[in-house]
Amino acid sequence: MNTLYVARNTAIAARALGEETMVMSAADSTLFTLDEIASVIWDAADGTTPLEEIVASRICAQYDVAPEVALKDAEALVENLADRGIMVISDQPLAHPGR
């Protein structure tokens, strides 16, 4: 996969609760929770840092996981979150994540 940039959708409500993150999509009032590792990616999703770099610096540095496995899982996660309108993904840096 090409370099992937991820950003939090600014239309989403979110708050850390312990190690997890609560996320509410106003569009359909659906409540989600992101687990500890998904929360790490969520926190780092600034739209300008490539996902590969987030995985290397924030996931592989803290958790005992092979980089290629972690990246594959992270890509599946952000695509899932993008499908639900929670995250925005692009092959270009995202300065202004959409609403």
Partner 1 sequence: MSGLMAEMAAKALQHNIPLGVQLDLTYRCNERCIHCYLDHDDHGEMSTAEIKDVLDQMAGAGVFFLTLSGGEILMRRDFFEILEHARARTFCIKLKTNGVLIRRKEAERIRALGVESVQISVYSHRPEVHDAITKMPGSFRQSIEAARLLRSVGLHVTFANVLMNQNAEDYRGVRALANEVGAQCTLDPTITPMMDGDRSILSLNVDQEALRQVFRDGGLVGNVEEFCAAPPKVGEDDLDSLPCSAGHTSCYVSPYGDVYPCVQFPLPCGNLRQSKFADIWKESPQFKEVRSIHLRDMPSCSQCAHGATCTRCPGLAYLEGNMRGPSFQDCQKSYARTGIPSENFKRRNASAQPSPSLKLVQIQGLPPAKVAESSVVGA
The residues of the shown chain that bind partner 1, judged by CB under 8 A, are 10-18, 20, 22, 24, 26-27, 29, 31, 33, 99
The CB-of-10 to partner 1 minimum distance in angstroms stands at 8
Alpha-carbon gap, residue 94 to 84, rounded angstroms? 18
The CB-of-39 to partner 1 minimum distance in angstroms stands at 13
- What angle is formed at CA 92 by the lines to CA 41 and CA 35, rounded to 5 degrees? 10
Q: Give the nearer residue to partner 1 in terms of CB position, either 20 or 52.
A: 20
Residue 30, H or E segment = strand 30-34
